[in-house]
C-alpha cells in the first residue's frame, strides 16, 4: 500500500485504535509495531499510517479541549464583565449621591450659626465604630442593623479606600476581584467573585468558618435570637491558632447577623462586642489575646442564569502591640488577611462548586469530601502541635539548658487505629512534640518548601520516619530497638487531589527503604506518607507556605494522623514568583553574573525577603520511654534546623550560582573539562559531533551542553551506577536537581524491558565504546513515566584515555 495515500479506516479499525489511544495517546514505534502484529484487523495498514493516525487523533483531542477551554473562558469573561459593569454603575451612583449630599451640607453651613454648624458637622461625621456591649439584649437588634449598614458601605461603597491587591489581577481564571485597605484603622480586605452555587448554599458554607479557614480552631454559637426579615442574631466566640510558636493566639467575641436585604440578597455581617456576658469563660480564653473584628461579612446576590455573586469583607484589629516588632507584619498586613481569610473563602466555595458539578477528578476512588477531610485533619494536627493549648492536654517539658527547641508532652493525645480493632497507645503515654522557629533572610519561601518536598533525603532521617510508621502500623512504639535502615533516596509522589488554583496539593509519598546488610533484605520496607503542600505552585499567591505530612497505613478513612512539618511565612509580604522551568539549585551554576540570577528565576526582591520558619514534629511514646523519646525528638529537630540552614544558604539568590555549582560538583573535574570530555568521547565513538558548533570550548561549550535539547546524563562506571551529572533537560526529565542526583541509580530509572535492553548491550558497550538503545519508557525521580524515541550510551574518556564515566543521551523525551 502507498504510504502517502489517504486511508479510510473501517469502524472496527477505528474502535481498536481508540482503545489503544485511551491507554496511551503517544505510543512509541515499538508499541505501534506490536499493535500491528497483535491486531489482524490492522493488517492492511502500514506503520507510518498508524503513526499519522495517532498524530491526527492527538491534534483533534487538543483542538476539542482548546475549544472547550475557550468557551469556558468566554463565559467567565462575560460574567466578570457584567460584574465589573455593575460595580462601576454602583460607584457612579454613590459618587452622584455624595456630590448631592455635599452640596446640601454646604448650604446648611451657610444658613446656620456656628453652634448649629458644629451640630450639623457632628451629624455627618463618620462614627468611630466603638466596640458595643452585649450585656443589654434589647440593644442587640440596633447593633445588628448598624453593623449591616456599615458592612454594606464597605462591601459596595467607599467607606474604606480600597486598592487592588498586588499579584491578584482580575481575569477569567482568577479567584475574583481582590482589594486591600489603604490608610484605615486595622487591616481590611475585600473580594468579589462568581461561584456556581445558590446563595443559600454559599451562606451555609461561609458561616462554617472552621471548614475553610485553616487558622480557625473553633467557632461556638452561644446565643441565637430572631432578627428582622426572618433573620437571626447570634453571639459567637471564635478561636484562632497561632501562626508560629513566637506569637500568642487570637480570639473574637462577636455578634453575627444573618438577614435578607431589599433586593433579595443574603447578608451575613459580624462585629466585635465588649464583655463576654453569656459567652466564653475566662478560663477558656486565658491563652488568647482578644482581637477586634470591625464590621465585616458576606453579601451574596443571586446571579442571572444561576449561581451567585459573592462580596466578602474582612476588617480586623489584631492588637499587635504585644509581639516583637519584626513579627508584627503577621498581624499588621492587609495582604495577610486577604490571602488567609478573604480569598481562602472564595477559593473554598469555588472548589465546592467544581466538585458539585463533577469537574474535579480525584485519585484512589475517593470522594472529594473525604480527601478534603484528610487535608483538614493534617492541617489541624499541625496547628495543634504549633499552638500547644493547655486545654488540649499539652504541657511544656523541662529543657536541657538550651532554649532553641521547645518540647511539649500530651498524655491525652492517643492514636486510635479503629480499622485494626486496636486502641493504639491506650496503655501508652501519648504524644511528644518538638518545635522550633527561626527567622530566614533572603530565602524565597516557595523555593524552600519545594526543595524540602522534592529532596527529603537532604534533611530527613529514615529511621525517624520508620519509628512513626511502626507506631501507626503496629500500634506499638519500637524505640529504641529500631533495626538500622537507610533511605535509598528514591521517593514516589502519587497525587491525590489539588485545589482549583493548585495552591494546595494532597498526595501520598512512598519512601523506599534499604537494609544496611544483605542479611536484612527481607526486613526492608517502604513507608507511605500522606502529605499536604501549600504555596509551592509558581502561580499561587499565599501568605504561608507549608509542607505537612503524616505516616499512614493502607489509607483507611479513619487512619490516625500524627502531623509534622514546616511552615514558612513571609514577613515582607512580597509576591514570591518561581519560574516553572527553574532547576532548584543548579541552573544558575552554569551562568555568569546577573544572567545567572535571571535564569534561576530570582528577582532582586528575593535577596531582601524575610520570613519566619516554624518546624514541629510529633512522636508517639510509651510511658516508660517518655524521657528518651523527648531527648530523641529534641535532637532530631535540631538536626533538621541545621539541615534547613544549609539548604537555605544553597538556594538563597544572594549566593553566587557559580560557587554553588562548584560546591555541588565537588569530587568531579571542572564542569567545563567534563563537558569537553563528553563531547570529545561522543565524536570519538560515534564519528559525529554532539553539538552543532565543534570549535567552542571552555564556558561556552559548557553552556551549550547545559542548554542542549536532549537529556544528557552521566553516571559512574561501576557495579551500581550512580548519576553524577546532568544537563538542564536531564534534570527536568528526572525531576530532580544536581544536589539529589547522586541519590538516583541507573537501574532505578528504567522499567523492566529497559533494564533488560541495557544489560543485554553491556558487553557491546564495553567493547565498542557506545551502544544505541531502542525507544522505551523510563522513570523520573518522582515516579512519573517518561517516553523517549531513542537513547545513546557511550564511555566518557579522560585525558589519559581511561574511562571516567558513562554518558547517556535520551532523544525526544516526554512525560507520558
Tell me, yes or no, whether 624 and 562 share the same domain: yes
Tell me, yes or no, whether 130 and 265 share the same domain: yes
Point out the domain boundary residue: 81, 108, 125: 125
Higher pLDDT, 3 or 359: 359
Of the candidates 219, 552, 182, 613, the one whose C-alpha atom is nearest the C-alpha of residue 364 is 552
- Residue 712 is predicted with a pLDDT of 93
Under the banding of pLDDT at 50, 70 and 90, the label for residue 244 is very high
The answer on pLDDT for 631 being more than 70 is yes
Average pLDDT over residues 292-310: 88
Point out the domain boundary residue: 93, 110, 125: 125
Under the banding of pLDDT at 50, 70 and 90, the label for residue 649 is confident
The answer on pLDDT for 602 being more than 50 is no
CA torsion angle 714 716 721 726 (round to 10): -20
- Residue 138 is predicted with a pLDDT of 65
- Residue 542 is predicted with a pLDDT of 55
Under the banding of pLDDT at 50, 70 and 90, the label for residue 136 is low
CATH of the domain at 700: 3.30.450.20
The answer on pLDDT for 595 being more than 70 is no
Under the banding of pLDDT at 50, 70 and 90, the label for residue 387 is very high
**Highest-scoring range by mean pLDDT, 378-382, 455-459, 553-557:** 378-382
Please, is 56 exposed, middle or buried when counting C-beta atoms within 10 Å of its C-beta (0-12, 13-18, 19+)?
Answer: exposed
Average pLDDT over residues 757-768: 83
Tell me, yes or no, whether 68 and 190 share the same domain: no
Mean of per-residue pLDDT scores for the chain: 77
Stretch (H or E) spanning 546: strand 545-551
- Annotate 584-632 with DSSP letters as a single string: TTTGGGGS-THHHHHHTT--GGGGT-EEEEEEEEEEEE-GGGHHHHHHH
Under the banding of pLDDT at 50, 70 and 90, the label for residue 30 is confident
Spatial distance between the Cα atoms of 530 and 374, rounded to a whole number of angstroms: 9
Average pLDDT over residues 682-707: 82
- Residue 572 is predicted with a pLDDT of 66
Spatial distance between the Cα atoms of 747 and 755, rounded to a whole number of angstroms: 7
Average pLDDT over residues 27-45: 84
CATH of the domain at 100: 1.10.10.60
Tell me, yes or no, whether 451 and 583 share the same domain: yes
Tell me, yes or no, whether 171 and 42 share the same domain: no
Under the banding of pLDDT at 50, 70 and 90, the label for residue 421 is very low
Structurally, how many domains does the chain consist of? 4
Query: Alpha carbon 814 to chain centroid distance?
Result: 24
- Residue 276 is predicted with a pLDDT of 60
Cα first-last separation, the chain: 31
Please, is 304 exposed, middle or buried when counting C-beta atoms within 10 Å of its C-beta (0-12, 13-18, 19+)?
Answer: exposed
3-state secondary structure of 716: coil
Under the banding of pLDDT at 50, 70 and 90, the label for residue 666 is very low
- Residue 581 is predicted with a pLDDT of 34
Lowest-pLDDT range of 16-20, 170-174, 336-340, 524-528: 170-174
Tell me, yes or no, whether 392 and 426 share the same domain: yes
- Residue 558 is predicted with a pLDDT of 65
513: left (phi over 0), alpha (psi -120 to 50) or beta: beta
- Decide: 468 and 750 in contact? Cβ < 8 Å: no
- Residue 239 is predicted with a pLDDT of 93
Tell me, yes or no, whether 48 and 131 share the same domain: no
Per-residue pLDDT tens digits for 310-326 = 999 999 998 887 788 88
- Residue 702 is predicted with a pLDDT of 84
Under the banding of pLDDT at 50, 70 and 90, the label for residue 298 is very high
Tell me, yes or no, whether 483 and 537 share the same domain: yes
Under the banding of pLDDT at 50, 70 and 90, the label for residue 91 is low
- pLDDT above 90 covers a percentage of the chain that reads 20
Tell me, yes or no, whether 712 and 579 share the same domain: no
3-state secondary structure of 388: coil
The pTM assigned to this predicted structure is 0.66
Average pLDDT over residues 480-484: 42
CATH of the domain at 265: 3.30.530.20
**Highest-scoring range by mean pLDDT, 240-244, 284-288, 357-361:** 240-244
Point out the domain boundary residue: 81, 101, 125: 125
The answer on pLDDT for 630 being more than 70 is yes
Average pLDDT over residues 11-28: 86
Higher pLDDT, 572 or 745: 745
The answer on pLDDT for 670 being more than 60 is yes
- Residue 383 is predicted with a pLDDT of 94
**Highest-scoring range by mean pLDDT, 519-528, 616-625, 750-759:** 616-625
- Residue 94 is predicted with a pLDDT of 64
- Residue 175 is predicted with a pLDDT of 63
- Residue 648 is predicted with a pLDDT of 84
**Highest-scoring range by mean pLDDT, 120-134, 443-457, 577-591:** 443-457
Lowest-pLDDT range of 159-163, 255-259, 375-379, 405-409: 159-163
Spatial distance between the Cα atoms of 156 and 175, rounded to a whole number of angstroms: 18
Of the candidates 490, 476, 486, the one whose C-alpha atom is nearest the C-alpha of residue 747 is 490
Lowest-pLDDT range of 66-80, 417-431, 765-779: 417-431
Under the banding of pLDDT at 50, 70 and 90, the label for residue 379 is very high
Higher pLDDT, 633 or 577: 633
User: Cis link prior to 480 (omega < 30° from 0)?
Assistant: yes
- Residue 117 is predicted with a pLDDT of 46
Tell me, yes or no, whether 565 and 425 share the same domain: yes
For residue 56, the enclosing domain spans 1-125
CA distances from 686 to 39, 496, 567 (A): 37, 45, 51
Tell me, yes or no, whether 534 and 678 share the same domain: no
Tell me, yes or no, whether 373 and 428 share the same domain: yes
CA angle centred on 491, ends 599 and 781, rounded to 5°: 45
Amino acid at each position: 500500500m502507498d504510504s502517502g495515500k489517504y486511508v479510510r479506516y473501517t469502524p472496527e479499525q477505528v474502535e481498536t485504535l481508540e482503545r489503544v489511544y485511551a491507554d496511551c495517546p503517544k505510543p512509541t514505534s515499538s508499541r505501534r509495531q506490536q499493535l500491528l502484529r497483535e491486531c489482524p484487523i490492522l493488517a492492511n495498514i502500514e506503520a507510518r499510517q498508524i503513526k499519522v493516525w495517532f498524530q491526527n487523533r492527538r491534534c483533534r483531542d487538543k483542538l476539542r479541549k482548546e475549544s472547550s477551554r475557550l468557551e469556558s473562558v468566554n463565559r467567565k469573561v462575560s460574567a466578570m464583565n457584567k460584574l465589573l459593569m455593575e460595580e462601576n454603575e454602583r460607584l457612579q451612583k454613590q459618587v452622584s449621591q455624595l456630590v448631592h449630599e455635599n452640596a446640601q451640607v454646604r448650604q446648611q453651613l451657610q444658613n446656620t450659626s456656628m453652634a448649629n454648624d458644629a451640630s450639623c458637622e457632628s451629624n455627618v461625621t463618620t462614627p468611630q465604630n466603638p466596640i458595643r456591649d452585649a450585656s443589654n439584649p434589647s440593644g442587640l437588634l440596633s447593633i445588628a442593623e448598624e453593623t449591616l449598614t456599615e458592612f454594606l458601605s464597605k462591601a459596595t461603597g467607599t467607606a474604606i479606600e480600597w486598592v487592588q491587591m498586588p499579584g491578584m489581577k482580575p481575569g477569567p481564571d482568577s479567584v475574583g476581584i481582590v482589594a486591600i485597605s489603604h490608610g484605615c484603622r486595622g487591616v481590611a480586605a475585600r473580594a468579589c467573585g462568581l461561584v456556581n452555587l445558590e446563595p443559600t448554599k454559599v451562606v451555609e458554607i461561609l458561616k462554617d468558618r472552621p471548614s475553610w479557614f485553616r487558622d480557625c480552631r473553633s467557632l461556638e454559637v452561644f446565643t441565637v435570637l430572631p432578627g428582622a426579615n426572618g433573620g437571626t442574631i447570634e453571639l459567637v466566640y471564635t478561636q484562632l491558632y497561632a501562626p508560629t510558636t513566637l506569637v500568642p493566639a487570637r480570639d473574637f467575641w462577636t455578634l453575627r447577623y444573618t438577614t435578607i436585604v431589599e433586593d433579595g440578597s443574603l447578608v451575613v455581617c459580624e462585629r466585635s462586642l465588649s464583655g463576654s456576658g453569656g459567652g466564653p469563660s475566662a478560663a477558656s480564653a486565658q491563652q488568647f489575646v482578644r482581637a477586634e473584628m470591625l464590621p465585616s461579612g458576606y453579601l451574596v446576590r443571586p446571579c442571572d442564569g444561576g449561581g451567585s455573586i459573592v462580596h466578602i469583607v474582612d476588617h480586623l484589629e489584631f492588637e499587635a502591640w504585644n509581639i516583637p516588632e519584626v513579627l508584627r507584619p503577621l498581624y499588621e498586613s492587609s495582604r495577610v488577611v486577604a490571602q488567609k481569610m478573604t480569598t481562602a473563602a472564595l477559593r473554598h466555595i469555588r472548589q465546592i462548586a467544581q466538585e458539585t458539578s463533577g469537574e474535579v477528578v480525584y485519585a484512589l476512588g475517593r470522594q472529594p469530601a473525604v480527601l478534603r477531610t484528610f487535608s483538614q485533619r493534617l492541617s489541624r494536627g499541625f496547628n495543634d502541635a504549633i499552638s500547644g493549648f493547655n486545654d488540649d492536654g499539652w504541657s511544656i517539658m523541662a529543657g536541657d539548658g538550651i532554649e532553641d527547641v521547645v518540647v511539649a508532652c500530651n498524655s491525652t493525645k492517643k492514636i486510635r487505629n479503629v480499622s485494626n480493632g486496636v486502641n493504639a497507645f491506650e496503655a501508652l503515654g501519648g504524644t511528644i512534640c518538638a518545635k522550633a522557629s527561626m527567622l530566614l533572610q533572603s530565602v524565597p519561601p516557595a523555593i524552600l518548601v519545594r526543595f524540602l518536598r522534592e529532596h527529603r533525603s537532604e534533611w530527613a532521617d529514615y529511621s525517624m520516619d520508620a519509628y512513626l510508621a511502626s507506631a501507626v502500623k503496629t500500634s506499638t512504639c519500637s524505640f529504641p530497638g529500631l533495626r538500622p535502615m537507610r533511605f535509598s533516596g528514591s521517593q514516589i509522589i502519587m497525587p491525590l487531589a489539588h485545589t482549583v488554583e493548585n495552591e494546595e496539593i494532597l498526595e501520598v509519598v512512598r519512601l523506599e527503604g534499604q537494609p544496611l546488610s544483605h542479611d536484612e533484605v527481607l526486613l526492608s520496607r517502604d513507608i507511605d506518607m500522606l502529605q499536604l503542600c501549600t504555596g509551592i505552585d509558581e502561580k499561587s499567591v499565599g501568605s504561608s507556605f507549608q509542607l505537612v505530612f503524616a505516616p499512614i497505613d493502607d489509607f483507611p478513612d479513619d487512619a490516625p494522623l500524627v502531623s509534622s512539618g514546616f511552615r514558612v511565612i513571609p514577613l515582607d509580604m512580597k509576591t514570591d514568583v518561581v519560574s516553572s522551568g527553574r532547576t532548584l539549585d543548579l541552573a544558575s551554576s552554569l551562568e555568569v553574573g546577573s544572567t545567572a540570577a535571571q535564569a534561576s528565576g530570582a528577582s532582586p526582591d528575593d535577596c531582601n525577603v524575610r520570613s519566619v520558619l516554624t518546624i514541629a514534629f510529633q512522636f508517639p511514646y510509651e510511658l516508660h520511654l517518655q524521657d528518651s523519646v523527648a531527648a530523641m525528638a529534641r535532637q532530631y529537630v535540631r538536626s533538621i534546623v541545621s539541615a534547613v540552614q544549609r539548604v537555605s544558604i544553597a538556594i538563597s539568590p544572594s549566593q553566587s550560582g557559580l560557587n554553588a555549582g562548584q560546591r555541588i560538583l565537588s569530587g568531579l573535574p571542572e564542569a567545563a573539562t567534563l563537558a569537553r570530555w563528553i563531547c570529545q568521547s561522543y565524536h570519538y565513538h560515534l564519528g559525529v559531533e554532539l553539538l552543532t558548533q565543534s570549535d567552542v570550548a571552555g564556558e561556552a561549550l559548557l553552556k551549550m551542553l547545559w542548554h542542549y535539547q536532549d537529556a544528557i546524563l552521566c553516571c559512574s562506571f561501576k557495579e551500581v551506577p550512580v548519576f553524577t551529572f546532568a544537563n538542564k533537560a536531564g534534570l527536568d526529565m528526572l525531576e530532580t536537581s544536581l544536589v539529589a542526583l547522586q541519590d538516583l541509580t541507573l537501574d532505578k530509572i528504567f522499567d523492566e524491558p529497559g533494564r533488560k535492553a541495557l544489560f543485554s548491550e553491556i558487553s557491546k558497550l564495553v567493547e565498542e565504546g557506545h551502544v544505541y538503545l531502542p525507544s522505551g519508557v523510563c522513570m523520573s525521580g518522582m515516579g512519573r513515566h517518561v517516553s523517549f524515541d531513542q537513547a545513546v550510551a557511550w564511555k566518557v574518556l579522560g585525558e589519559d584515555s581511561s574511562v571516567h564515566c558513562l554518558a547517556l543521551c535520551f532523544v525526544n523525551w516526554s512525560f507520558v
